Amino acid sequence: MKKKITLKNFIIILLLICSVYTVVNQQIRMQKIKKQVTNEQNRLNTLKKENQKLQDEVNLSKTDRYMEKLARERLGYVKPNETPVINSEAK
């Protein structure tokens, strides 16, 4: 005995198929978005670390000790009563 598909049953099946499609599609989109969020969080953490490193360098550059180091290295600054050492291999 063959069952005839009624319009009511056809609509129910169609709605079920649409619902399943929508749920699956939303799950796929959610996974993509979660992956993007994770990637952006990793990027943010990397940028925060880099920013902190740069902030530390800026703070260090403001110290007298750093200024003295630069003056000694780049300008050849020598304190009174010090004997300068000249590296013959320096270019």
| Local mean pLDDT, 10-residue blocks, the chain (91 residues) | 79 96 98 98 98 93 84 78 71 53
Asked if the structure places residue 45 within a domain, the reply is: yes
Asked if the structure places residue 83 within a domain, the reply is: no
Asked if the structure places residue 63 within a domain, the reply is: yes
Asked if the structure places residue 37 within a domain, the reply is: yes
Provide the pLDDT for residue 91. Answer: 53
Provide the domain count of the chain: 1
Asked if the structure places residue 1 within a domain, the reply is: no
Provide the pLDDT for residue 90. Answer: 55
Name which of 14, 38, 18 is nearest 26 in CA terms. Answer: 18
Range of the domain at 32: 8-75
Asked if the structure places residue 56 within a domain, the reply is: yes
